[in-house]
Structure 1
Amino acid sequence: MSSLLSIDEPVRAPARPRPQWRAFTEMGFRPLYLAGCAWALISVLLWVHAPSLLRGELNGLAWHAHEMLWGFVATIAVGFLLTAGANWTGRNPLRGNALAALCLVWLAARAGYLVPGRPAFLLAGIADLVFFLWGAAALGRSVWLTRNKRNYGVPLLLAALASAHLLYLTAAVSGDYLGLMRYFNAGLLSMAVLTLLIARRVLPFFAKRAVTGLDIPPHTRSGHWQLAAGVAAIVLLLAGAPKGAALALAASGLIALVQWLAWKPWTARRVPLLWILYAGYLGLSIGLLVGAAQLAGLVVRVAWPAHVIGVAGFSVMILGMVTRTALGHLGRPLQTDRSMVLSYALIILAALLRLAALLPSSAVTGLLHASATAWALALALYLWRFFPMMIRPRADAGGQATPVMRIKPVVAPRG
């Protein structure tokens, strides 16, 4: 007799792996992406809504500028480079308890700037210096031991960020406003050069993998000229030659625009993981030209270059990178969901509102608050979506943290 009704037990979804300390500290992007994005959210809300809580030696505008550049942007860069370095060299630069210790040093720096008194300030400054030099040394060791000549200069850019940080704090303590701005701009340009170097490598690689049949040039030779122009701009700025720095910076920005157009940005319009990176690269390119105009005396307000480069450039690109590279290294499909796309829209809105607030009008306060709200929501969405993934093993690791002591190097890094 044939069966008229068959009832099978439902197939149970595989149990969600539990959080693991080993997984959380297996690569630099996991704790440092979360830490950098969380601090970006908290520090902006403090700056806009509770500035009275900023009672440390480095207070007010000096604290805000420092924490945005070195506490947020450069922190994400260290997390990215420690992760990418494993792909470039086949050696994981830092992991486990050593990576956790690096994160504790970072936390000590963030807390120290908020505590009143010179001892706390000195502790914070030293902690930040150790953080960047430790990251540079760990990456440099992997690069040197594997004779990865293509990346010999990357740890030096991290060391330049550390040096600019130290000079910035020295100027802040001595009350040297002109020195403060010069060293902040040097740090900003060091970060811009590093960002251009990384983005020029990964953006064409990501694009060709995401868009079927897309063929775009890597612009390796123009990237070398761009790198040389950026380094020249930093040296000339520190040497007190703003006109020469303006020319070098303009050259770097124009090369970036040419690269952006050559990479066919219109082909990325249906791929959120791509168009957010294109948007950030465009913002950074324009920001470099605005910075050149300011150094040449054509733009009066010194806040314009920092915010175009920092908010429209770095921040937009960072949100795209911490999404794309995290998904790849977590073994997840390279696809966005609604929360991720919404976070992209919010970070771009935050950038536009912040730039609008630089224009003289009666709506400045409202624009600032609206920008801070959009900024906080964008980063909160990222943290909400990615925190549960970051503290667990890779999706394809079968519930166990993957060993990462030796990683097969690839020609074009995915992170």
Structure 2
Amino acid sequence: MTIASDQVPAAETAEPKPTKKSQGTILGASVIAAGTAVGAGMFSLPVANSGVWFSVCLVLMIVVGYIMHTASLYIMEITLHFPEGSNYDSLAKGTIGNVGRVVNGLSVAFLCYVLTYAYISGGSSIITYSLSIFGDVNMSSGVASLIFAVVLLSIVMMGTRAVDRVNTVLIGGMIITFMISLSSLIGNSSTTNLFPEISLGDRMPYAFYTISFLVASFGLQITVPTVTNYLGLDAKRTSKALLIAIFLAGFFYFLWMFAVFGNISRDDFPAIIAEGGNIGNIIGALSKSGISANISVILQIFGNMAVATSFLGVSLSLYDYISDLFKFDTSTVAGKAKTVGIAFVPTIILAILYPHGFIAAIGYAGVVLVIFSLLAPIVMVRICRERNPDMYQVPGGNARQAMVFGFGILVFIITAFELTGNLPIFG
């Protein structure tokens, strides 16, 4: 990659001061970031981890969660070197040059498009399942996809503060509905299901497949420039928000995996996977496990809110990226229309034509996430530190950077094996 000749303006202080502009809240930034991750993790993780099962899954979650959190801090550090409002395109252009900008930009765009499609697919799955079970209404997946996308995109067009407020309400609703359903799911859980007599030798071959999904599940990095700008380029506040976000995501994942694996046996997952492994399939399997009809309804509500939070976070990031890339003025109706047209029309059409691609899309998301969240940031942060050594730096030095970069290479190798059909996949 060639280093751009444009120099990032040197900082006047060791840490950027907040601007006078009205800033968002740490809680609001946290729920935007956490909400983006949680929808993917909540419903893809049971299928992706069915091979390694509960205990091994927890160990892998801790390791991957820490590395992905470190990566998000590096992206925050890079964002601090640029004017407020900058997103991935500006960050790449000002550090790794035009070639790196194209590679990084394609990976960011591809990830946003894939995840937007995945969440529309997941949202339509919940809508059609809920209507068929509780309303005896048969709605096509295409119509459900269109309704889901149009309603939530109207919120995205209102801006970051609107997404902040809606996501805060949704996260609160998720916690309430999840805790209510969790009480029944935990009470109905079986230790035999959670801790079956399966040797490590039978589990570990599937660990590599799991890692790519875990990367996507903790993939809140796509929102980092947005939330860093939202908090006024304040390193201290943004660091707190990202820490809260990763713990919030991990909290949901742990309880969800406990609930699912405690109620559905490992032997039942091949059938779930054969049906597509979509959100409706997971909730349907839980409904058959002996929980009450009321709890099943609450799970429907929870599932809708979980996917909605992720869709809002990813869509906001894609919206900001497209407007930054093409320099659209989103304060005007024309600018908003052009941004929405480029960012969302292709994914809506794809979701209508291919409505059952949730699990496959999440898997591909983990592949491209490696480029801009694990590999490129290490190159970019080193360039920024060389230019402006007195600005804020994430602790850990070269060793921590090497850990993130090395993990990115590992995930790339895993992906190569998966794409060539040489990676063991459960079910």
- What's the TM-score, normalizing by structure 2? 0.30
Q: Which has the larger radius of gyration?
A: 1
TM-score (norm 1): 0.31
Question: Which structure carries more relative contact order (alpha carbon 8 Å, separation 6+)?
Answer: 2
